[in-house]
Structure 1
Amino acid sequence: MKTSVAAALAGLAMASTPTLGADLFGVAPPPMSFPASESPLTEVGTNWYLRGDIGYEFDNEPTVVPTAGLIPAILNDSLTGASYVNAPPGNASSNAGVTRGNNQNSQGLNFDVGVGYRVNNFLRLEATYMYSNGPSLSYAKGSLCPDATVPVSNEVGGTPVPVGYLWAPVDCTGYLHATQTNNTALASAYLDLGTFWGVTPYIGAGGGLNANTISGSTHFIINADGTPFRGNTSSSGAPNLWVVQTGVSGGYAVYTPLGVQPDVDFGNQNWDRHFSSTHYSMAAALMAGFGYQLSPSATLDVGYQYLSLDLFGSTKSTMQDFRVGIRYMAN
């Protein structure tokens, strides 16, 4: 029995040896081989990568102008000497108009995410989305708010004749606050300039679209008590005219209509407004920086970017930023 088992094992070993197997069972098949592109061991998608960055930016962009449509100016009536304001157009539920003014400087953080493809050892292509803030604005302006309506009359032959409503506004302050954001989509190409001591410098350029949004609100506070302005100017029987006292006759006050009537309705007043305006424009960027490989999959990216947010427009909005991020190969 032991002799039979030993013989069987010896025969199996001989059959598993290529040379002996060929002698026993014919010519052995050649080893399997594949082109590199078809090898089952080749990883799929290793040229694709994801990226994310945080940057510190220096902006030069226009901001909102506090026009009479948001913060009314105090006007003076040349005939009567009275001061008044025109109410902001629209109503509290409508979107007020925005006028972009002179450029302002600001600083802050931005964030971007994107996807890239390494074409070869030198060329990379990327598509990114960046969110950033532009200059904000806080503004306060003294104003006049018509807080109450008092019907008044002139005495004509001993008979009171209603002539209008007394223009007697209270001091108030209008406050405006605006914020600005940019949403920028770029398609970019990067040229890696070789690796030196583990560091790979690069340059790049890109183009795309930017959506600049300025939004905010205005509200009015009565100076005397700090309460929100909600004027009660309901009319009650007199002509819808604003008048001021211009003298005394026969012991009675004489009222005269303002030479130019304020644009203030005869009803409850709410001068609070909100506003939002988005400006779309072409964007272009120039980049430079370096990458440092942290692992086979992760690369630290440190870079500088100059970005024109309104390439062919009139606002000449620009941004410069320094950013740090990670590029992660999608193995």
Structure 2
Amino acid sequence: MVICIKRLSFAGFAVTLATTAMAADLPAPVIEHIPQVPVAAAGGWYLRGDIGYKLYNDPKGGFVDSSTVGDLRYERESIDDTWMIGVGVGYQFNDYFRSDLTLDYEAKATARGYAVCGTCSTNFSEERTDLDIWTVMLNGYVDLGTWYNLTPYVGAGVGASYIRASNTISINPGSTAATYDKDNGEFNFAWALMAGASYAVNQNLSIDAGYQYRDLGKARTTAYTATGNGRSEFKDITAHEIRLGMRYTFDSAAPAYYAPEPIMSNF
């Protein structure tokens, strides 16, 4: 019996030595970590600046003088194309929604219309005035996702426009042109629809290229006569804008990171 127990003890000791030797030949365990992945901050304030080119649609125009001859509809109305510049401040609420308040100035563009003139040699007089426009707009945007730093978006805006008519001229062929130097300004409800895409140069700076359709209201010139009745009016002033701008976002909070999780490997 004693001999049997001794043999079992030697056998167990031998197995232990063999296991230890095999373990010594194995490589040391490798501990790997998942790299830290930055998560965009939930929101942030930003400043923006834009330049662009404005292509006006043909408005509706006429001579308005209800106290005498009544309204006279123009023909072949048009507004020259022009450029614009704008600034704004906004807030990025999350990855998909942002909003900003913008102020745009649209440089002078000449509006023209031709009125029937029975006493004119060409049967039409030319009525024209220069329009320059200020617009304040509250805009909302939906960002549609980001691919390789490129983020397409759609949006809409509502606000007010101030349209100033100046350098008003009435030209009757064969006679001296009448010039009216006094300006006249009109406040209007304005709205816009927009689409475009931004490219993130880095965490804070983005380049924005977009299109806007704008409805700006109407413009009226100063009165043509001393009684203050007759004036030109251009309604349904709408335009297509091609815009290029930059946005600078201020960090609202330090970037967050996922906590690293170790992965244990025996080989």
CA contact (8 A) 2:63 2:74 kept: no
Larger Rg: 1
**Amino acid paired to 1:57:** K
Change in Cα spacing, 1:205 to 1:179, as seen in structure 2 (3 Å) is same
What is the aligned partner in structure 2 of residue 110 from structure 1? 84
Q: Give the Cα–Cα distance (whole angstroms) in 1 for the partners of residues 169 and 181 of structure 2.
A: 6
- The answer to whether the aligner puts 1:54 opposite 2:28 as a matched pair is no
Compute the TM-score of the two structures, normalised by the length of structure 1. 0.46
**Amino acid paired to 2:158:** G
- The answer to whether the aligner puts 1:185 opposite 2:159 as a matched pair is no
What is the aligned partner in structure 2 of residue 13 from structure 1? none
5+ unaligned residues in a row in structure 2: which ranges? 1-40, 66-71, 114-124, 219-233, 252-267
Aligned match for 2:214, one of 300, 304, 307: 307
**Amino acid paired to 2:166:** S
What is the aligned partner in structure 1 of residue 249 from structure 2? 329
Aligned match for 1:294, one of 201, 206, 209: 201
Greater relative contact order (Cα 8 A, min sep 6): structure 1 or 2?
2
Structure 1 moving runs of 4+ over 6 Å: 63-68, 174-177
Change in Cα spacing, 1:67 to 1:122, as seen in structure 2 (3 Å) is closer
5+ unaligned residues in a row in structure 1: which ranges? 1-43, 69-98, 140-173, 224-228, 230-270
- The answer to whether the aligner puts 1:199 opposite 2:153 as a matched pair is no
Q: Give the Cα–Cα distance (whole angstroms) in 1 for the partners of residues 62 and 107 of structure 2.
A: 18
What is the aligned partner in structure 2 of residue 250 from structure 1? none
Q: Give the Cα–Cα distance (whole angstroms) in 2 for the partners of residues 137 and 205 of structure 1.
A: 27
Aligned match for 1:318, one of 216, 219, 238: 238
Q: Give the Cα–Cα distance (whole angstroms) in 2 for the partners of residues 130 and 193 of structure 1.
A: 25
CA contact (8 A) 1:50 1:327 kept: yes
Change in Cα spacing, 1:112 to 1:45, as seen in structure 2 (3 Å) is farther
**Amino acid paired to 1:290:** A
Q: Give the Cα–Cα distance (whole angstroms) in 2 for the partners of residues 113 and 280 of structure 1.
A: 20
Compute the TM-score of the two structures, normalised by the length of structure 2. 0.56
Residue by residue over 1:170-200, the C-alpha shift from the partner in whole angstroms, topping out at 9 and shown as x without a partner, is xxxx998631111110001101111012210
The DSSP-based 3-state class of the residue aligned with 1:309 is: strand
Q: Report how far residue 106 of structure 1 moved.
A: 2.3
Q: Give the Cα–Cα distance (whole angstroms) in 1 for the partners of residues 92 and 100 of structure 2.
A: 9
* Percent of aligned pairs with the same amino acid: 30
RMSD value, Cα:
3.7
Q: Give the Cα–Cα distance (whole angstroms) in 2 for the partners of residues 50 and 181 of structure 1.
A: 25
Q: Give the Cα–Cα distance (whole angstroms) in 2 for the partners of residues 219 and 105 of structure 1.
A: 16
Q: Report how far residue 133 of structure 1 moved.
A: 3.5
Change in Cα spacing, 1:288 to 1:66, as seen in structure 2 (3 Å) is same
CA contact (8 A) 1:61 1:135 kept: no
Matches within 5 A, 1:262-281: 273-281=180-188
Residue by residue over 1:200-224, the C-alpha shift from the partner in whole angstroms, topping out at 9 and shown as x without a partner, is 000101100011111115599xx9x
Aligned residue pairs, count = 175
